[in-house]
Structure 1
Amino acid sequence: MRPMTQYRIRADYDARTIVVYQAYPPAIADAALRAGRFVAPFSFQRMTWIKPSFLWLMHRSNWARKPGQERVLAVRMTRQGWEQALSRAVPTTAAPEELSRAAVHLQWDPERSLRGAALNHYSIQVGIGRHLIRTFAEDWVVGLTDLTPQVHKAAALVRGGRADQARRLLPPERLYPVGPDLEERLTPA
């Protein structure tokens, strides 16, 4: 077993909720923000990946410049839902037949620095499968916030060599506590 110190969840959370991040095309983000929840054209028929690491999503979406990922949403969800998803998660490295039956997939990827460099610890991604997606969208999600203007401002500061100013715009993230059973389940073998 690898040391858990490299595989810890870092997130913005409070006593009841956790914030995860997603990037979408404008049509999906606009409809969701207008409705205050995920609605069409959001797909309830495919897996959706949620990430508690803001900088990992910035790397993935190229600071909201990648086609189809131009809008960054902070998705506030219940911790109960988050932990239920984690308790059902199967690593993407599992046997194909196990993975195909899983309601939730999980993957650890190198965390990223402000400039996108891989760090020596990992960030979790959680894929909510189509059999659980309505529960995620209708029961677990309690709020959506458009972070796109903040993302663009931070990206401009990074590109302009003002990383300290950009860092002030990042959401706060701290270690998320998990119990020993869940920790063992989440730690890669």
Structure 2
Amino acid sequence: MAPPMSADQFLAALRAEGLTVVETGQWRSHNRAGHGGWGPVNGVVIHHTATSGSDATVRLCYDGYEALPGPLCHGVITKDGRVHLVGNGRANHAGAGDGDVLRAVIAEKRLPPPVKNDTDGNTHFYGFECENLGDGKDPWPQAQLDAVEKAAAAVCRHYRWTERSVIGHKEWQVGKVDPRGFTMDWLRERVRDRLK
């Protein structure tokens, strides 16, 4: 049973991995408490935002929108490689996904394909939204890819998880396509090498 990190621990873990971190608004107390559990935590979900423009993307992920209030993740990774912290605690990012996938993440085994959305992922996963249109054409700058790797590794290092605890939204929830533009196996290999 892994308890969630405190805000200070989360910030320190990211900075220790070499990331440039931007603290946004009242991120330390900005969450969806009262709308479901937060913890035990078991992994990291990587998303793309389907937006462009760093300022607008960070604002959307902090505030959310009428049908889905923010925060929409814990950190937004912009194209310049910075991580903007927008939430601490439960966030509206993973949604309902496949309980068999969660069990594989906990066991750190190869993931089965998601076939049902029966488990609340917002309870169990840290979420990083990555600024990208997700159309397969919008580029992923090297600084951003490096930051995605470092952010995922920072959380894994804190908990002593392996790269198997890092998944894509499309690997968690039926009907999702994100992240698009790199494969999760490629990212997991990078996280594995970083954690050695």
TM-score by length of 2: 0.27
- Structure number with greater Rg is 1
Q: Highest relative contact order (Cα 8 Å, sep 6+), 1 or 2?
A: 1
- When you count strand as a share of all residues, which structure comes out higher? 1
| TM-score normalized with structure 1 length | 0.27
